[in-house]
Structure 1
Amino acid sequence: MKAFCEATGLTRDTVNFYVRLGLIEPAGNGSATNSYRDFDEDQVEAAQMITMAKSLGFSLNEIKHLAERYRSADMDTYAQASILREQLVKLEERRSTLEAMEQALNAKLARIEAKTETPVGEMPAA
């Protein structure tokens, strides 16, 4: 578990939470004498994708739904590729929204700074 946490940047509590939610599945649950969980590269990749998806505004429910669809035993590679394409479209929409927000904030900042002689970021504290 320690190596998995270091590889993913997640805390032990977060990993356990994700396992309970079914977002990641340990490769093994250890022997009957211990409660250690084994994780392989697939789980590291899944955890990293969860972290990225969360940073892009996806909820854990959305992530879980996508993961379940993607891991579905009856899903062929065409269907998996289709899911990934859908997500790429959503990411592009989010990117467009973020770029519009960035432009709006830059315009507002420029209007504020135009009213002063010193850029706002360089103004002395009051």
Structure 2
Amino acid sequence: MADLIFPIAPGAALAIHVALSAGIVAAIIVVATIIREKRAGARPDVPYESGILPGTPPQGPQNAPYFLIAALFVIFDMEAAILFAWAVAARDAGWVGLIEAAIFIGVLLLALIYLWVDGALDWGGPRQRK
């Protein structure tokens, strides 16, 4: 049915998609270059945020506990994608697939318990070891 509506080869469709995407990116860059604010004497090497120029150099590395939580979320979120794929093929996989999925979930559960005990999931930073 789709072939009757759009009689085009898959390679040609890919080429059209790539060309349109590149054209849109080029158009955005050209428009941004044309309408951007032009400041005389602007220094491109100085960070500029919220209209405030920095007065002092940075104080060194900043603590970012959110990054750790986000990284752990991505790692453990991948298990959902893998388990969805397993759920689709659960009947075909049979008991062997069920045992493999149980082992997979068990390993992830052990990793989560380790991270919890180690304090990696605490916002307050690392715990004091006794």
The alignment's TM-score, normalised by the length of structure 1, stands at 0.32
TM-score (norm. length: structure 2) = 0.32
